[in-house]
Amino acid sequence: MTHNVAILGASGYTGAELVRIIATHPNLRIAALSADRKAGQAMGAVFPHLRHLDLPMLTKIEDIDFGDIELVFCALPHGLSQAIVRDLPRSVKVVDLGADFRLRSTEDYKRWYGLDHAAPEMQPEAVYGLTEFYREPIRQARLVAGTGCNAATVQFALRPLIKAGVIDFDDIICDLKNGISGAGRSLKENMLFAERSTDVMGYSIGGKHRHLGELDQEFTMIAGRKLEIMFTPHLVPINRGILATCYVKGEAEGIHAALAKRYADEPFLNVLPFGEAPSMGNVTGSNFCHIGVIGDRKAGRATVIATLDNLNKGSSGQAVQNANLMLGLDETEGLMLAPVFP
């Protein structure tokens, strides 16, 4: 059975990745694409790699007829989704890829994003979109709030460990290496090729990155007490990928066992044999996440490394996975595309 979907904000990288995934998805059909500033253009003009596809023209949101659309992917910058989602017909299911509904507390939203929540009455119905940990609520949800790409990576590495209590909650340090596409297609001098291609730099260092809002929320909830990690993302000259190196205190083999057990039946979360480290390049273009655990010469310390493709499993792949659940489809439908290497 085919389900009609719309993509709002289709001219960004996550919008394009949604189209790429849906292009070979057997049950989804793209019925509308919006992109305010590029309305009137063909998607293949904005993203020529999609030119072989038969797609609707880009349009303004207000020109979309939502009558025949079952589910909307909302790939808009934060601050824009709340009002738009609020005004969609209730018949339409929504997967929001942005940050607007991730934080349960509207005060937290204001604190991390500096904006008043425009649809606070909708926040309670939003389900946090980390599929492997919110599967059943997602199945029932009308509105799913996609996670931050960094937040997804770190949670895949740490949630089962916090849940199982096998690591020290007060000494968790996550050092991330981030592909540049995470910055999106907006124009910033420090995102120019010449600035980034031979550079590595940390950013939002010291607890300033907005994805910490989600991580604090989730980890504190699981731990049953306040839990704040140290977290530093770094830009590396690669398009796609996040590799999170997490330094924890705990018994390495027990840590590995906790992850391996928790993810044994997860189709997209692959725990490597104990002592093996994952590589960012092995998940590019896919919905897979590779996780490794390595012991340390210092007793009681371990390194947990998780890697995924920020545009796919970290964003658009996750969104399709959630949409599959919301539409009653097999969760893996359309998402078994193998990683592209080299």
Does 247 interact with a second copy (rule: CB under 8 A)?
A: yes
Contact 73, 61 (CB under 8 A): no
Which positions from 27 through 46 interact with a second copy, judged by CB under 8 A?
Answer: none
When binding is defined by CB under 8 A, the residue of 42, 80, 118, 238 that contacts a second copy is 238
Q: Which residue has 């989730």 as its token pair?
A: 218
What is the secondary structure of 41-93 as a DSSP string? S-HHHH-GGGTTS--PPEE-GGG--GGG--EEEE-PPTTTHHHHHHTS-TTSE
Of 42, 119, 48, 108, which is closest to residue 86 (Cα–Cα)? 119
Q: Tell me the closest approach of the beta carbon of residue 152 to a second copy, in angstroms.
A: 17
Residue with tokens 């290497």: 341
- Write out the binding residues for a second copy, residues 48-67 only, by CB under 8 A: 48-53
Question: Cα–chain-centroid distance for residue 9?
Answer: 16
> Candidates 18-26, 30-38, 102-110, 137-145 — which segment interacts with a second copy by CB under 8 A?
18-26
Instruction: By CB under 8 A, name the one of 217, 245, 310, 315 that touches a second copy.
Output: 245
The site map against a second copy for 286-315 (x = CB under 8 A) is x-x-x---xxxxx--x-x-x-x--------
91's CB contacts (< 8 A; 6+ apart) are 66
Site track for a second copy across 193-222, x = CB under 8 A: xxxxxxxxxxx-xxxx--------------
Phi-psi map region of 297: left, alpha, beta (phi>0 left; psi -120 to 50 alpha): alpha
CB of 209 to a second copy, least distance (A): 10
Residues numbered 136-195 forming contacts with a second copy, rule: CB under 8 A: 171, 173, 175, 177, 180-181, 183, 185, 187-189, 191-195
User: Do the beta carbons of residue 119 and residue 86 sit within 8 Å?
Assistant: yes
Report the half-sphere exposure of 136 (CA within 13 A, side-chain side): 0
Backbone angles phi, psi at 110, to 5 degrees: -60, -40
Selected catalytic residue, list 74, 149, 174, 289: 149
Q: Is 239 in the site for a second copy (CB under 8 A)?
A: yes
Token pair recorded at residue 109: 């939203």
Nearer to a second copy, 82 or 245 (CB): 245
- Total interface residues for a second copy by CB under 8 A: 84
Residue 280 engages a second copy in binding (rule: CB under 8 A): yes
Identify whether the C-beta of residue 259 lies closer than 8 Å to the C-beta of residue 270. Answer: no
Structure tokens at 315: 């964003």
The nearest distance, CB 117 to a second copy, in angstroms, is 22
Count Cα atoms within 13 angstroms, Cβ side, for 212. Answer: 22
Q: How far is the CB of 233 from a second copy (least distance, A)?
A: 10
- Residue 128 is which amino acid? Y
Cβ-based burial of 25 (10 A; exposed 0-12, middle 13-18, buried ≥19): buried
Binding to a second copy by residue 83, rule CB under 8 A?
no
Q: What is the smallest separation between the CB atom of 120 and a second copy, expressed in angstroms? A: 26
Min dist CB 143 to a second copy, Å, is 28
Note if 174 is an active site residue: no
Between 127 and 148, name the residue whose CB sits nearer to a second copy. Answer: 148
Q: Which is nearer to a second copy, 163 or 276 (CB)?
A: 276
Cis peptide before 124 (omega within 30 of 0): no
Is residue 232 a contact point for a second copy (CB under 8 A)? Answer: yes
Q: Note whether 282 binds a second copy by CB under 8 A.
A: yes
Instruction: Compute the distance between CA of residue 208 and CA of residue 245 in angstroms, rounded to an integer.
Output: 18
By CB under 8 A, what part of segment 260-279 binds a second copy? 267, 270, 277-279
Q: Please report how close the Cβ of residue 11 comes to a second copy at its closest, in angstroms.
A: 10
Q: Which residues are catalytic?
A: 149
